[in-house]
A = this chain, B = another copy of it.
Amino acid sequence: MATMYDTLLQLPLFQGICREDLTQILGKVKLHFLKYEAESSIVRDRDVCNKLLFLLNGEVLSTHSFKKDFVFMEYIPTPYLIEPYSLFGIDVRYKASYIAHTNVDVLEVEKSFVISELLNYEIFRFNYINIISNRAQTLHTRLLKSIPDTAENKIIYFLSLHSTFPSGKKLLRMKMNDLAEHLNETRLNISKALNHFEEKGWVELRRKEIIIPAMEQFFMD
C-alpha cells in the first residue's frame, strides 16, 4: 500500500492531497494498473477519451499524423498524464496516438470516477483546472509567433509548435516533399537546411526519417 501512495503522490493531479483524502479515494475509486509491452499501442488518435491515463514508468512515443506518411513523433518521459484536456469539452477524442516504446506501466481511472469522486476533492480539482489552463496558455503563446523567414527557421518553428516538451528526442517520419509543402518552402531549401542541421549534429537524416536527438540543441546558440 505504501508504494501505491507514493506512486499516486508523484502524479501532478494528486500533488498536495493529504494522506487521509488519498485513503478515502483509494477506498472508493477503482484504479486499474495495466502493463503495456514494448511496441504495443496504448491509445489511438481519434479514440474516444473516456478515462484518465497516467503513464507511470517506461518510455512512450506520442505520434501525430498530418497525413499518411507524414508523422511527428515525440518521446514522452514518465510520469505523465495523457491529454487531460480531451476528457471534457466538445471533442472528447485523443489528439494523438501513444505507443509503448519500452515496457510501460499505466494507471487508468474511468471518467465516471473522475466525475463522481475525484473532482469532489478540492486539491484534485485545482490541479486539474490548473493543468488544462496551462495547456490553453501554452498553446496561445505559440499562436503569437510570426511566420518564419528561412527554411531553417520554418523547420524549428514546426518542431516547437508541435512538441509537448521543449527538449528531448523527436522524430519526423515523412517524405521531404510533404515537409516542404507543409512549410510552404522548396524541397531544395528544406534539404539544404536539414543538411546544415546534420553538420551541426542537431539532426540525423535517414531515409524518410529525421531524428532530432535533443531538441534543446536548437536553442543553445
Residue in B139, B149, B182 whose beta carbon sits within 8 Å of that of A136 in the complex: B139
Residue in B87, B119, B133, B181 whose beta carbon sits within 8 Å of that of A125 in the complex: B119
Instruction: State the number of copies, please.
Output: 2
Residue A170 at the chain B interface, CB threshold 8 Å: no
- In the assembled complex, the CB of A164 is this many whole angstroms from the nearest CB of chain B, namely 11
> How many residues of A are counted as interface, with CB atoms below 8 angstroms from the partner's CB atoms?
41
Describe A's contact surface by its main secondary structure.
helix
Q: What is the bound-complex CA distance between A137 and B125, given in angstroms?
A: 20
Complex: chain B residue closest to A126, CB-CB: B88
Residues in A lying within 8 Å of B, measured CB to CB: 66, 85-91, 95, 115, 119, 122, 125-126, 128-137, 139-140, 142-144, 146-149, 154, 161-162, 181-185
Q: A91-B137, A119-B129 are in contact. List 5 more A-B contacts (CB 8 A).
A: A89-B134, A90-B134, A119-B125, A132-B132, A147-B182
